Amino acid sequence: MKNQWYKNAVIYQIYPRSFKDGNGDGIGDIKGIISQIDYLSQLGIDAIWFSPMYPSPNADYGYDISDYTAINPEFGTMEEFELMVKLLHERGIRVLMDLVINHTSDKHRWFEQSRQSRDNPYRNYYYWADGKGRNGKRPPNNWTSFFLGRAWQYDENTKQWYLHLFDKNQPDLNYFNPQVMREIQQILRFWLNKGVDGFRCDVITLLAKTKGLPNGFPKIALVGSEHYIDGTRMEELLEQLQQVLREYDAFTVGESVFITVPKALRYTTEGNEYLTTVFAFDQVSADNYFGVKQLVRKFSLRRLKKSVGVWQHGLYGKSWNTLFWENHDQPRIVGRYCSATLHRSEGAKMLATVLMTLSGTPFVYQGQELGATSPAFDNLDDYRDVETFRSYATLKKVFGKRGAMKRIKYCSRDNARTPMQWNSDRNAGFTDGDETWIKVNPNYTEINVRSQTLEADSVLNYYRKLIKLRKSDPAFVYGTYTDCMPRSKHIWAYLRRSEYGTLAVVCNFANKNVKFCPPKQMTEPGEYQAVTSDYADSPAALGKTILRPYEAIVYRLKS
């Protein structure tokens, strides 16, 4: 029988570069993480997903890997990593690594070999092709990269082009070559033998390209995506990964680009899993068009409820959802789905309430538990992220300098990558050194772990309380989902019903008072009693009331 620990687990994501610096060089590291194990344990989380910790030239800060079986010296040593795993396991915290196997760094020895000559034994580890047109100076096809611009790079040495769906320093691995998968299987084994419990699989649904890499349908963005997202060979490739993963009962969560419910079921149907779970991005797309962050639009609660409903119903009883508001690729949720200035704390708690009361495994990204906000730096020089620079260049052409900067400030990935705010000392207590690799959010004097630990009703203490509650009461975890007011623009009111009990969750997403009258489904016989709320004096019984800005209350039906 498979161990389904992840169902009532809460998973925390650490972006190691920005979590805690243990050696004063301004870059987070393993020593720093070890120094905060008490903090992690007190938060009540069950597992940690670590963004990549392998050696990397940092073209994409770790998502360009130059050695899959070593630890980035910026982060520490293999011995320190092993110690960290041991200490976390002693606290009952599982360890999930980031598995980035769609591409490597161009500094990986496989690619360095591959680019040497057309007959190098590693040539076929990557996609190389002749260019089009006279002299082959046009790319082999019209595909575009996720970081905008074309997905091919010309290599003078062998006069061919190589494919890169992300940055040009991230060449795509060629899974038509069976040797590539054999290498990956070895890598999986390497980490599983070190006691790692599973993997977050980076852009895993891009692995299976269409044979021959044909031209894509021309459109504004992601030309060619019909030839590389959810390709027909996905099951075959995932099965080859599972041959190793299954032996260790390892958990996987697949980052899945533009995933839909039927596709998620294709990968995660219980009893026939190719992946344990997937990340679906609809839940973080209620303030943009087509799931593209840069195409910003006003947040709509109705849109959010609709897409969450599709996933809550779509996977129920067949598979398992993941729930998240943030990760290292998303700006902070406070400032997007609630105000970052007015009632910030209540807004952050309301979003925490939703995250912990839906069906699925909640993921919390470092700093989210403080209600952290995006720093929205004004100056392009303060950004570090390749996607930000690439987007800016394209956005500038369409919206002009000011329009481009406005969008970058809202959606840059660096908004989530500034150092964790531990206290109000210099550099937010993130490092003892003078410099940090990216600027600290200036609001650290106000938002930080130390002050929120002391303040009884802080966002941090609310997260701790909710995590505890969810873990102690299976009614939070299991059960159906019913949206009782789908048409309301301001209120999200839903029921969770299971053999363990019934919860009624009522949240006011508006930054103002809103009248609430319990919908019919919530007035079933019986008495609902509040189990938690983000205001200290919320009504103890479910009934007609005026909900205050971002007020969120969880009621339980008395049995």
Q: Which residues bind ligand NOJ (CB under 6 A)?
A: 60, 63, 100, 166, 202-203, 255, 328-329
Which lies closer to ligand NOJ via its Cβ, residue 29 or residue 255?
255
Which residue out of 98, 202, 369, 385 is catalytically annotated?
Answer: 202
Amino acid at 396: K
Q: Which is nearer to ligand NOJ, 60 or 346 (CB)?
A: 60
Report the C-alpha dihedral over residues 18, 19, 20, 24, rounded to 10 degrees.
Answer: -10
Residues 6+ positions from 536 with CB-CB distance below 8 Å: 457
Burial 496-513 (b: 16+ CB within 10 A, else e): bbeeebbbbbbbbbbbee
Strands 11-14 and 47-50: parallel
Residue closer to ligand NOJ by CB (options 199, 550) is 199
Q: What is the DSSP letter of 103?
A: B
Least distance (Å) between residue 173 CB and ligand NOJ: 12
CB 234 within 8 A of CB 267: yes
For ligand NOJ, give the closer residue by CB, 100 or 223.
100
Listed residue (144, 176, 477, 534) closest to 338, CA to CA: 534
Pair 62, 52: CB distance under 8 Å: yes
- 202 assigned to active site: yes
Closest distance of CB 143 from ligand NOJ, Å:
15
Which three-class secondary structure string do you get for 191-247? HHCCCCCEEEECCHHHCCCCCCCCCCCCCCCCCCHHHCCCCCCHHHHHHHHHHHHHH
Q: Whose Cβ is closer to ligand NOJ: residue 149's or residue 442's?
A: 149
CB 101, min distance to ligand NOJ, A: 10
Give catalytic status of residue 235 as yes or no: no
Please identify, using beta-carbon distances, which residue of 202 and 282 lies nearer to ligand NOJ.
Answer: 202
CB of 324 to ligand NOJ, least distance (A): 12
Instruction: Catalytic residue, from 60, 230, 255, 414: name it.
Output: 255
**Taking the alpha carbons of 97, 100, 104, 105 in that order, is the dihedral positive or negative?**
negative
Residue closer to ligand NOJ by CB (options 228, 550) is 228
Burial of residue 207 (CB within 10 Å: 0-12, 13-18, 19+) is buried
Number of neighbouring beta carbons within 10 Å of residue 86: 11
Q: Residue 253 or residue 491: which is nearer to ligand NOJ going by CB?
A: 253
**Residue of closest CB approach to ligand NOJ:** 63
CA–CA distances in Å: residue 472 to residues 374, 440, 504: 32, 36, 17
Q: How far is the CB of 534 from ligand NOJ (least distance, A)?
A: 30
Cross-strand bridge partners of residue 160: 155
**What is the total residue count of the chain?**
559
CB of 419 to ligand NOJ, least distance (A): 18
**CB of 322: closest distance to ligand NOJ in angstroms?**
14
Q: Report which secondary-structure segment, H or E, holds 469.
A: helix 459-472
d(CA 183, CA 162): 20
Please report how close the Cβ of residue 133 comes to ligand NOJ at its closest, in angstroms: 29
How remote is the C-alpha of 313 from its chain's centroid? Answer: 22
Which helix (H) or strand (E) segment holds residue 128: the answer is: strand 128-129
Where in the sequence numbering do the catalytic residues fall? 202, 255
